[in-house]
Amino acid sequence: MSLPTAVRIVEVGPRDGLQNEKTIIPAATKIELIDRLSRTGLGTIEATSFVSSKWIPQLADAAEVFAGITRRPGIAYPVLVPNEKGYERAREVGVEEVAVFTAASEAFARRNINASIDESIERFRPVLEHAAADGVRVRGYVSTVLGCPYQGEVPVADVVRVARRLHALGCYEISLGDTIGIGTPARARAMFRAVAAEVPVAALAVHFHDTRGQALANLLACLEEGVGVVDSAVSGTGGCPYANGATGNVASEDVVYMLEGMGIATGVDLPALVETGLWLSARLGRETSSKVARALG
């Protein structure tokens, strides 16, 4: 399959990027981050997650953050919701798109959300039903698609089964996540190709963590299979509270630089994105993980 001419970047920094920070980040900083990202040309910015503060204390301010951002026309601001209660909280502050999540690994599902894969899907089934009635779009996440910190190998057949099920339930898009950054290009390609045989390519996205420095290579392999949506986090922030050793997401700045250099349009203003990433890194008190930002900054 030929390379896409354009790719949509799903910026997950405000949620997946910040959820693993050890120090609580003020809501005002999160709001400013999202507002800055909104001025870079990004079309989708995942704002926060309406999970229990008991499990993810960093995102306890979800309602305050979402209510405080300046939502710009033409930009989607999805939020993660784990269940019906989370969905209701999100809708109370005007959320118009949500995401639900499960895993391809039974061991990870039990550690991450204290439920089996089937149980996790049953938890958010009412979300999909309410969303359909409310005209709210639902995105689906499948984690550990290339390996699990507890189970080890994850059969591709399990990834296909879960992705196919989420799509059949009504998720308009399925994000395939290498949660611990263990994949290599050949494995990423084979996994994506297997899922694409059962779920339309147009309904698939990829989500790579860069733990072993393979994220951009894995992304390229999936681009060659036709993927048109990529999750990434400004400044390469991230990690998973339930995946020991996982480092940040692939940096949005590095993804945009690579895509634009290949002649693939993103619609993103790279200098503005780099500036935002450097601003965030300063607020977090550490150097950016984006190699492009280091070079340009």
Q: Does the pLDDT of residue 53 top 90, yes or no?
A: no
- Tens digits of residue pLDDT in 188-232: 999 999 999 999 999 999 999 999 999 999 999 999 999 999 999
Q: What is the pairing mode between strands 79-80 and 97-103?
A: parallel
Beta-bridged to residue 264, according to DSSP, are none
- Tens digits of residue pLDDT in 144-196: 999 999 999 999 999 999 999 999 999 999 999 999 999 999 999 999 999 99
The reported pTM is: 0.96
What pLDDT was estimated at residue 22?
87
What pLDDT was estimated at residue 111?
86
Look at residues 74, 80, 151 and name the one whose alpha carbon lies nearest to residue 116: 151
Q: What is the pairing mode between strands 204-208 and 173-178?
A: parallel
Please provide the CATH number assigned to the domain covering 8-296: 3.20.20.70
What are the structural domain ranges in the chain?
8-296
Region at 40 (left for phi over 0; alpha for psi -120 to 50; beta for the rest): alpha
Q: How far apart are CA 93 and CA 250, in angstroms?
A: 30
Residue 95 three-state SS: coil
Average pLDDT, the chain: 95
What pLDDT was estimated at residue 241?
58
- 240 counts as catalytic: yes
The DSSP 8-state label assigned to residue 149 in this structure reads T
Q: How far apart are CA 191 and CA 214, in angstroms?
A: 15
Catalytic residue among 148, 171, 222, 240: 240
What pLDDT was estimated at residue 240?
62
The answer to whether 250 and 28 are in contact (CB under 8 A) is no
The answer to whether 9 and 40 are in contact (CB under 8 A) is no
- Tens digits of residue pLDDT in 66-110: 999 999 999 999 999 999 999 999 999 999 999 999 999 999 999
- Tens digits of residue pLDDT in 101-154: 999 999 999 988 789 999 999 999 999 999 999 999 999 999 999 999 999 999
Look at residues 54, 96, 43, 48 and name the one whose alpha carbon lies nearest to residue 68: 48
What pLDDT was estimated at residue 151?
92
Residue 97 identity (one-letter amino acid): E
What pLDDT was estimated at residue 239?
67
Considering Cα of 119, then 121, then 123, then 125, what sign does the dihedral take? negative
Q: 54 falls in which pLDDT band (50, 70, 90)?
A: confident
What pLDDT was estimated at residue 276?
98
> What DSSP element (H or E) covers 121?
helix 117-134
- Tens digits of residue pLDDT in 11-22: 999 999 999 888
What pLDDT was estimated at residue 244?
59
The answer to whether 101 and 143 are in contact (CB under 8 A) is yes
Q: Does the pLDDT of residue 245 top 60, yes or no?
A: no
What pLDDT was estimated at residue 49?
97
DSSP string across 3-24: PPSB-EEEE-IIIIITTT-SSP
Tokens standing for 17? Answer: 């990027």
Beta-bridged to residue 140, according to DSSP, are 100, 174
